[in-house]
Amino acid sequence: MESVLSIKDLNVVFSGFKALSGVSLDVYDGEIVTIIGPNGAGKSTLLDAIVSKSPVFSGHIYYQGKDITNNSPHDIARMGIGRKFQNPNVYNELSVFDNILLALKGTHGIWASITAKLTKEKKGKIFDVLSRTGLVDQAFELVSSLSHGQKQWVEIAMVLAQDPSIVLLDEPTAGMTADETYMTGEIIKSISKSHSVVVIEHDMEFVKQIAERIVVLHQGQVLAEGSVEEVQSNPKVIEVYLGH
């Protein structure tokens, strides 16, 4: 099977500190890959490197067979890699609908999106991503009135509005209630029917809910890879999480 994203022997170095050493990883079509690992393992750095937010020292990142290593973040987003960061980055004083409108592909800045004609097609697209993220009823509410969890979903909806083929999510359930966390898992599973998804996550219950394949990072390296059961029974993983 052709991989959507293929990372080969990736090294990221911050002033002499090796944040990622020799990381290789493939993500296939419609798959959910969950990345776990202790704080500082290099999880966010890996997503940063994919979208060129962190410079790659050596190694390669291929997207749909094309080498995109150190391409500009803008080009990478345009090619179809959507990234949600750890903290919600939304416009609180705009409605949910307008936030998604701003995120639509081909819209450049607030002014352009306000003055551009709101076509039927755009409206349909906005409601499509809102229904995938459980936000249809909140479409015309201000983002400031939403719960923390709902704001995270607005951000996921904004990523989907850019028509990515792969979605990268960094700790999407951070700060969520148990119900919101569960709902986020269901949203991610539904997104994976039409997209590949890479999720960084801490909460093992959540990982079990969504996981197909887990990659464990530790000190910038891939420590283990496999199903929930395989990873949980791996002696190296047990040592990292329970040992010392």
Instruction: Look at the chain and count its residues.
Output: 244
Q: Which stretch binds ligand ADP (CB under 6 A): 37-45, 64-72, 148-156, 227-235?
A: 37-45
Mark residues 80-109: x for contact with Mg ion by CB under 5 A, - for none.
------------------------------
Under rule CB under 5 A, which residues in 42-71 are in contact with Mg ion? Answer: 43-44
Tell me whether residue 42 or residue 82 sits nearer to ligand ADP (CB atom): 42
Is position 73 an interface residue for ligand ADP (rule: CB under 6 A)?
no
Under rule CB under 6 A, which residues in 2-21 are in contact with ligand ADP? Answer: 14, 17, 19
Least distance between ligand ADP and beta carbon 44 (Å): 3
Could you say which of ligand ADP, Mg ion, none residue 73 binds, taking C-beta under 5 to 8 angstroms by partner kind? none
**Residue among 117, 77, 79, 82 at smallest CA distance from 101:** 117
Q: Which residues bind ligand ADP (CB under 6 A)?
A: 14, 17, 19, 37, 39-45
